[in-house]
């Protein structure tokens, strides 16, 4: 994953690699500087040749290791460390200890500045997370935090549990306590109630972009 503090060797020649937002595709891309078009691409970061070449080794399904490999839903394949055609960028949440507010919960204090928490239109969903800006596909938030449990029945509230599957089996992260979790507890599934069933729909460009992020991650 491209890290914001990545000390990539800066390459200012036109053949150098850049991490860009492609606004036509609504996605992150690795691109040579000479192909960047003003208005279509927004440069985020310079990347070294060595770094770009190290990204995107295809992994056969039987060798998948959740610690090292990430699945690309566009290519339907695992890559080490992630797909070069569909790169990922980790957007870090705020450090809750830097927030002085005494009214916010620990989870609310971790909310990135580009997001807001407000009542969801989804039936029974409570609060949801909304983006104030366009977020391209490939931006990764998280990881999800909560109290680690191995018994699903002990999870306090439905809708506040995330199952994590690793090579040792699976466990659950219970985020029902907003002081033992982070802002990801407010994320809702992408669904709309049609009277007799839940379905997918376009809720709005910003919300859709946000959903794409979570699908992609
Ligand atoms: Zn891909």
Q: Please report, for the chain, the start and end positions of each structural domain, with discontinuous segments joined by +.
A: 17-90, 98-135+143-201
Task: Name which of 21-25, 26-30, 131-135, 185-189 the model is least confident about.
Answer: 185-189
Whole-number Å distance, alpha carbon 91 to ligand 1 midpoint, is 19
Whole-number Å distance, alpha carbon 127 to ligand 1 midpoint, is 32
156-180: average pLDDT: 84
Over residues 30-39, the pLDDT tens digits come to 999 999 999 9
Rounded CA separation 132/210 (Å): 10
Whole-number Å distance, alpha carbon 186 to ligand 1 midpoint, is 28
Whole-number Å distance, alpha carbon 74 to ligand 1 midpoint, is 5
pLDDT at 209: 39
pLDDT at 52: 96
Whole-number Å distance, alpha carbon 83 to ligand 1 midpoint, is 5
Whole-number Å distance, alpha carbon 85 to ligand 1 midpoint, is 5
Whole-number Å distance, alpha carbon 61 to ligand 1 midpoint, is 15
Whole-number Å distance, alpha carbon 48 to ligand 1 midpoint, is 20
More confident residue, 201 or 180: 180
Q: Does domain 98-135+143-201 have CATH number 1.20.1440.230?
A: no
C-alpha closest to that of 27 among 8, 44, 46 = 44
DSSP bridge partners of 20: 29, 43
CB distance 98 to 112 below 8 Å: no
Whole-number Å distance, alpha carbon 82 to ligand 1 midpoint, is 8
Rounded CA separation 125/51 (Å): 41
pLDDT at 96 over 80: no
Whole-number Å distance, alpha carbon 64 to ligand 1 midpoint, is 16
Whole-number Å distance, alpha carbon 84 to ligand 1 midpoint, is 7
Rounded CA separation 109/96 (Å): 5
**Residue 14, phi-psi category: left (phi > 0), alpha (psi -120 to 50), beta (remainder):** alpha
Q: Residue 211: which H helix or E strand, with range?
A: helix 205-216
Task: Name which of 18-22, 103-107, 133-137, 167-171 the model is least confident about.
Answer: 167-171
Whole-number Å distance, alpha carbon 80 to ligand 1 midpoint, is 11
Kind of pairing between the strands at 17-22 and 41-47: antiparallel
Q: Band the pLDDT of 3: cuts 50, 70, 90.
A: low
Q: How many C-beta neighbours within 10 Å does residue 149 have? A: 15
Q: How many C-beta neighbours within 10 Å does residue 161 have? A: 20
CB distance 106 to 185 below 8 Å: no
Whole-number Å distance, alpha carbon 56 to ligand 1 midpoint, is 9
């Amino acid at each position: 994953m491209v890290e914001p503090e990545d000390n990539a060797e800066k390459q200012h020649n036109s053949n150098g690699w850049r991490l860009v937002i492609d606004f036509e595709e609504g996605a992150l891309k690795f691109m040579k500087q000479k192909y960047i078009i003003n208005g279509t691409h927004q440069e985020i970061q310079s990347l070294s040749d060595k770094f770009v070449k190290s990204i995107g080794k295809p992994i056969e399904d039987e060798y998948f290791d959740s610690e090292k490999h990430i699945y690309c839903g566009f290519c339907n394949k695992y890559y080490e460390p992630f797909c070069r055609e569909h790169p990922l960028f980790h957007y870090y949440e705020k450090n809750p200890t830097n927030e002085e507010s005494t009214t916010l919960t620990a989870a609310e204090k971790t909310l990135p500045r580009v997001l807001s928490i407000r009542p969801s239109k989804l039936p029974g969903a409570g609060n949801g997370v909304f983006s104030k800006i366009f977020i391209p596909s490939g931006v990764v938030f998280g990881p999800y935090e909560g109290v680690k449990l191995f018994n699903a029945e002990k999870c306090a509230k439905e809708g506040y549990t995330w199952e994590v599957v690793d090579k040792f089996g699976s466990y659950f992260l219970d985020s029902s306590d907003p002081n033992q979790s982070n802002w990801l507890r407010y994320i809702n599934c992408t669904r709309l109630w049609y009277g007799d069933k839940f379905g997918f729909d376009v809720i709005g460009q910003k919300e859709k972009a946000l959903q794409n992020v979570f699908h992609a991650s």
